[in-house]
Amino acid sequence: MYGRPAYAGIFRVCRDSRAPAKLYDESNSDWAPSLELGHTKTTRSLTQKSTVRYHNAAKRRKHAADINTTKILLELSTTTVALAEYLLDKKTYICGTVRAGRKHLCKEVVKANLKKGEMKATENRKGVKFYKWKDKRDVLTLSTVPEQGSDLVPSGKKNRKGEEILKPESVIGYNKAKKVLMLLTS
């Protein structure tokens, strides 16, 4: 993990137009991903410089009209099935990478032997989709975004042989959001 900036776990919060959402933050009103968990009086938010600040939840509720978040992209260590189900109940979609040893993942998909370029997917009753895709290594993603299906789509890149590289939509969306965060934090 040397050489990587320390993130608080939330990559990007965006509207349906895929532009960063305008969330309340005293230091930066244009970019401040924020997530209110439970019925606590404070809200955890991530500013542009990757520092964690706490804001009064009442201040956030004042600006609720401006906050129209629908998608959150999460990092490996924060993505869980329980969090995905909770946020889906709140009509907030997530997409992120997940560790193979997490609880409540489909064992059949986790243990599947895949060749490079193959994918296996499953969905639970609540609408949480779990994908395993083989590139150089296994890539495990968890998504609740309805537009992300279980198909491989062209990524816009070609390999050495000139063939189109196919990736799951969840991986493409995750990579785009990761690029945005790297631009914002650099």
Query: Per residue in 91-127, pLDDT tens?
Result: 888 888 888 888 888 899 999 999 998 999 999 999 8
Q: 163: helix, coil or strand?
A: coil
pLDDT band, residue 181 (cuts 50/70/90)? low
**3-state SS, residue 142:** strand
The rounded distance, in Å, linking the Cα atoms of 94 and 133 is: 18
Q: What is the pLDDT of residues 74-94, one digit of tens each?
A: 777 778 888 888 888 888 888
Residue 14 pLDDT exceeds 50: no
Q: How far is CA 75 from CA 82, 95, 98, 134, in A?
A: 15, 9, 8, 19
Segment 76-80 long-range contacts (CB within 8 Å, at least 24 positions apart): 77/9, 78/9, 78/10, 79/142, 80/104, 80/142
Helix (H) or strand (E) holding 101: none
**What's the order of all strands across the beta sheet hosting 34-35?**
34-35, 42-46, 52-56
Question: What is the chain's mean pLDDT, rounded?
Answer: 69
List the one residue out of 170, 148, 166 whose CA is nearest residue 157: 166
Half-sphere CA count of 2, side-chain side, radius 13 A: 0
For residues 12 and 20, give the distance between their C-alpha atoms in angstroms, rounded to a whole number.
7
